[in-house]
Amino acid sequence: MVDLIKRSTSSVKNDVTSGLTVALALVPEAVAFSFVAGVDPLVGLYAAFMVGLVTSIFGGRPGMISGATGALAVVMVSLVREGNAMGLAMAHPVANMGLNYLFATVILMGLIQVAAGAFKLGKFIRLIPHPVMLGFVNGLAIVIFLSQLNMFKTADAGVAHWMRGQDLITMAALVMATMAIMVLLPKITRKIPAALTAILVITAITISLDLDVATVGSFIRDGGGEGLKGGLPVFQTQLFSLIPRNMETLRFILPYAIILAGIGLIESLLTLNLLDEITESRGNSNRECVAQGAANIVTALFGGMGGCAMIGQSIINVNAGGRGRLSGITAALALLCFILFGSAYIEQVPIAALTGIMFMVVIGTFAWSSLRIMHKIPKSDALVLISVSVLTVMFDLAVAVFVGIIMSALVFSWESALRIRARKRIKEDGTKVYEIWGPLFFGSTKMFVSKFDIKNDPDQVEIDFIESRVSDYSGIEAISGIVEKYDKAGKQVRLKHLSTDCKKLLNKADAKYRSIILEKIEDPRYHVVADPNAFN
Q: What is the mean pLDDT of the chain?
A: 85
94 pLDDT band, cuts 50/70/90, is confident
* Residue among 331, 359, 264 at smallest CA distance from 57: 331
- Show the domains of the chain with their CATH numbers: 2-408 (no CATH), 418-535 (3.30.750.24)
pLDDT in tens, 43-72: 989 999 999 999 999 999 999 999 988 778
Residue 168: pLDDT above 70? Answer: yes
Residue 243: pLDDT above 60? Answer: yes
Mention every residue, 6+ apart, whose C-beta is less than 8 A from residue 260: 72, 75, 76, 105, 106, 109, 306
Residues paired with 159 in a beta bridge: 156
* Ordered strands of the 492-496 beta sheet: 421-426, 432-440, 460-470, 492-496
More confident residue, 70 or 508: 508
- Are the beta carbons of 433 and 456 closer than 8 angstroms? no
491 pLDDT band, cuts 50/70/90, is very high
Is 174 exposed, middle or buried, given 0-12, 13-18 or 19+ CB atoms closer than 10 A? buried
Output the CA torsion sign for 181, 272, 80, 97.
negative
186 pLDDT band, cuts 50/70/90, is confident
- Are the beta carbons of 206 and 387 closer than 8 angstroms? no
- Maximum distance among all Cα pairs of the chain, rounded to whole angstroms: 99
Residue 515: pLDDT above 70? Answer: yes
203 pLDDT band, cuts 50/70/90, is very high
Residue 180: pLDDT above 90? Answer: yes
Q: Which range, of 5-19, 437-451, 467-481, averages the lowest pLDDT?
A: 5-19
451 pLDDT band, cuts 50/70/90, is very high
What is the pLDDT, as a whole number, of residue 148? Answer: 83
- Are the beta carbons of 497 and 528 closer than 8 angstroms? no
What is the pLDDT, as a whole number, of residue 158? Answer: 64
27 pLDDT band, cuts 50/70/90, is confident
Question: Beta 460-470 vs 492-496: how paired, if at all?
Answer: parallel
Half-sphere exposure of 221 (CA within 13 A, CB side): 9
What is the pLDDT, as a whole number, of residue 3? Answer: 45
pLDDT in tens, 247-287: 999 999 999 999 899 889 988 998 898 898 888 888 899 99
- CA–CA gap between residue 177 and residue 181 (Å, rounded): 6
pLDDT in tens, 280-336: 888 899 999 999 999 999 999 999 999 999 888 898 899 888 889 999 999 999 999
